[in-house]
Amino acid sequence: MCETHKRDFIHRDIKPDNFLVGYGEDTNRVHVIDFGLAKKYRDVISGHIPFSDTKYLTGTARFASLNSHRGLELSRRDDLEAIGNMVLYFALGSLPWQNIKSSERSEKH
């Protein structure tokens, strides 16, 4: 994610489906794909994007950061939190909040 963040973008949809492992001579490389939800978080002229607390959930709910669920503007920390959720998923085989029973989708999220 460092290269993405160095280029002033946040991915906003970290999940296992968006990571590919290299093949052949590149087996030690991990490639990040699907930048459809990526967003520039700063630019040279205006600096960092302004804070907002009126956003909707962005990305895959299972791996999304708490800030995304709370409707806050996302930043680099949220990509890193989502990577942490993904590592937890690989380590445990599932996430503690998976399979929560709920009558409404919004309540589940």
Give residue 101's identity as a one-letter amino acid code.
K
Give rounded-to-5 percent helix, strand, coil for the chain. Answer: 35, 15, 55
- Tokens 């205006």 appear where? 46
Q: Is 43 an active-site residue?
A: no
Q: Are the beta carbons of 68 and 78 closer than 8 angstroms?
A: yes
Q: Which of 8, 13, 78, 79 is catalytic?
A: 13
Number of helices and strands (H, E) in the chain? 4, 6
Give which of 41, 33, 48, 38 is closest to 11, Cα–Cα.
38
Which residues are annotated as catalytic? 13
